[in-house]
């Protein structure tokens, strides 16, 4: 059994990791750390885990966590992962970091957008971006896996086949994305207060959201040329889910049948990414609680644009589920281990 520990186990992403790993056939939970609930049992904090996980939350003692673990999931805010990851690498332990600290190959990009000095730029440059559909082979041999952000996961999966095939003008990409309030984290804030979020939709981080350079980095790698995108996220009055609608100008006139063929071939054999039938557009409800990404597309003949939509659960494929998918790759397990379940519907 793989001994897995979670640093930052009581946030939404952390407790989702607890849920998934507690049901994983080849993993066992070793330690759960938290700064807010030291000494309290996780099942008392989250009664949804009653009878499944009987572990008391510990303080963040990195040395002890690493001693007890084969793999460590770090679910901390940006700027806090570096010391943990550095020590884990020294001890030869595997790390999946769910924050932003190791997602950027260039530390300067991270520092510009997150306003935090990166203390381990060489380590960040060697970390593997943890999107299995693009970097499966590299992840298998990695020491540090940088789990992607939720918006980037949905957006990159939506556009990757078209960019790799050279079908779109890369500098024309516009991404309009919408997320449930759990994406803002568990800490109470005015914007996620029921009276503010209910019956309301609002854009935020317009032309400045920190996931923008992460999306650009990976799309640039796919296209083989540097470019910028327009990315606008919106907060929706729902708990889970991300819907990304992406637009880009097609280089040449291409049939929708050919576009679909490109996407089908790109994702052939993938367990978690599925192309829907023509005219059947993704719903966030259809991926709720699952590690799946649903995609559909069309060629808009009037504008000459590709329109492609993707739906994921921001806490599963957009965070904890993808982290477990990465763990499976790191330890040579079937990629679907612990994740082969359907969405909750309705």
| Residue 16 located in a structural domain | yes
Comparing 150-154, 157-161, 183-187, the range with the smallest average pLDDT is 183-187
Q: Exactly one of 57, 150, 246, 293 is catalytic; name it.
A: 150
- The DSSP secondary-structure symbol of 132 reads H
Beta strands in the chain (DSSP E): 2-7, 27-33, 71-74, 94-97, 128-129, 144-146, 174-179, 202-203, 230-235, 242-249, 273-275, 293-300, 305-312
* 181 and 231 inside one domain: yes
- The verdict on whether 293 is a catalytic residue reads no
In this prediction, residues 114-142 reach a mean pLDDT of 97
Total count of domains within the chain: 2
- Token pair listed for 341: 């379940």
pLDDT at 131: 98
* DSSP code per residue over 59-109: ---HHHHHHH-SEEEE---TTSSHHHHHHHHHTT-EEEE-SSTTS-SSHHH
Q: Please, what is the Cα angle at 294 between 287 and 148, to 5 degrees?
A: 80
Dist. CA 8–CA 79, nearest whole Å: 13
Give the model's pLDDT for residue 273.
98
| CA dist., res. 174 & res. 168, Å (int) | 12
Residue 166 CB neighbours (<10 A): 13
pLDDT tens-digit profile of 197-240?
999 999 999 999 999 999 999 999 999 999 999 999 999 999 99
Residue 335, domain member (yes or no): no
Tens digits of residue pLDDT in 320-335: 999 999 999 999 999 9
Residues 155 and 97 in one domain: no
The three state secondary structure string of 213-240 is HHHHHHHHHHHCCCCCCEEEEEECCCCC
pLDDT band at 188; cut points 50, 70, 90: confident
pLDDT at 323: 98
In this structure, what CATH number is given to the domain that contains residue 13? 3.40.50.720
Residues 156 and 86 in one domain: no
CATH number for the domain that contains residue 169:
3.30.360.10
Same domain, 117 and 204: no
Q: What number is the average pLDDT over the span 35-57?
A: 96
Both 11 and 45 in a single domain? yes
Specify the pLDDT at position 335: 98
Of the pLDDT bands very low, low, confident and very high (cuts 50, 70, 90), residue 122 is: very high
Residue 75 lies in a domain: yes
DSSP state of 319: I
Side-chain half-sphere CA neighbours of 23 within 13 A: 13
- Asked if residue 131 belongs to a domain, the reply is no
Q: Say whether both 26 and 109 belong to one domain.
A: yes
* Residue 177 and residue 250 share a domain: yes
Same domain, 223 and 111: no
Looking at the structure, do residues 118 and 261 belong to the same domain, yes or no? no
Q: Note whether residue 106 is domain-resident.
A: yes
Domain containing 254: what range?
151-316
Same domain, 309 and 169: yes
Q: Examine residue 296 and state whether it is found in any structural domain, yes or no.
A: yes
Question: Does some domain include residue 325?
Answer: no
Pair 179, 106 in one domain: no
Model confidence over 101-113: pLDDT tens digits? 999 999 999 999 9
Residue 83 shares a structural domain with residue 174: no
What distance in Å separates the CA atoms of residue 74 and residue 7, rounded to the nearest whole number? Answer: 5
- For residue 338, being part of any structural domain is answered with no
């Amino acid at each position: 059994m793989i001994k897995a520990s979670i640093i930052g186990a009581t946030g939404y992403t952390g407790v989702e990791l607890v849920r998934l790993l507690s049901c994983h056939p080849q993993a066992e939970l070793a330690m759960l750390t938290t700064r807010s609930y030291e000494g309290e049992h996780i099942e008392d904090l989250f009664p949804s885990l009653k009878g499944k996980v009987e572990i008391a939350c510990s303080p963040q003692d990195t040395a002890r966590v690493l001693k007890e673990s084969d793999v460590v999931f770090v679910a901390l805010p940006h700027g806090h992962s570096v010391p943990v990851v550095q020590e884990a690498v020294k001890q030869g332990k595997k790390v999946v970091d769910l924050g932003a600290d190791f997602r950027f190959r260039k530390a300067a990009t991270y520092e510009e957008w997150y306003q935090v000095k990166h203390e381990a730029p060489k380590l960040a440059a060697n970390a593997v971006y943890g999107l299995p559909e693009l970097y499966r082979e590299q992840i298998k041999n990695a020491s540090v896996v940088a789990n992607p952000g939720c918006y980037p996961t949905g957006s990159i999966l939506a556009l990757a086949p078209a960019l790799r095939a050279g079908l779109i003008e890369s500098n024309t990409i516009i991404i309009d994305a919408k997320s449930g309030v759990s994406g803002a984290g568990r800490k109470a804030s005015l914007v996620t207060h029921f009276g503010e979020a209910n019956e309301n939709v609002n854009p935020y981080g317009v032309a400045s959201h920190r996931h923008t350079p992460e999306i650009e980095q990976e799309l640039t790698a796919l296209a083989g040329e540097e470019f910028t995108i327009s990315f606008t996220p919106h907060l929706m009055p729902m708990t889970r889910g991300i819907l990304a609608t992406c637009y880009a100008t097609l280089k040449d006139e291409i049939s929708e049948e050919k576009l679909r063929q490109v996407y089908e071939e790109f994702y052939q054999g993938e367990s978690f990414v599925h192309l829907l039938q023509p005219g059947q557009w993704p719903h966030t409800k259809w991926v709720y609680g699952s590690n799946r990404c649903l995609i559909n597309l069309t060629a808009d003949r009037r504008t000459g644009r590709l329109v492609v939509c993707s739906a994921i659960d921001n806490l599963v494929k957009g965070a904890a589920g993808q982290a477990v998918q990465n763990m499976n790759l790191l330890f040579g397990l079937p990629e679907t281990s612990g994740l082969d379940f359907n969405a909750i519907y309705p």
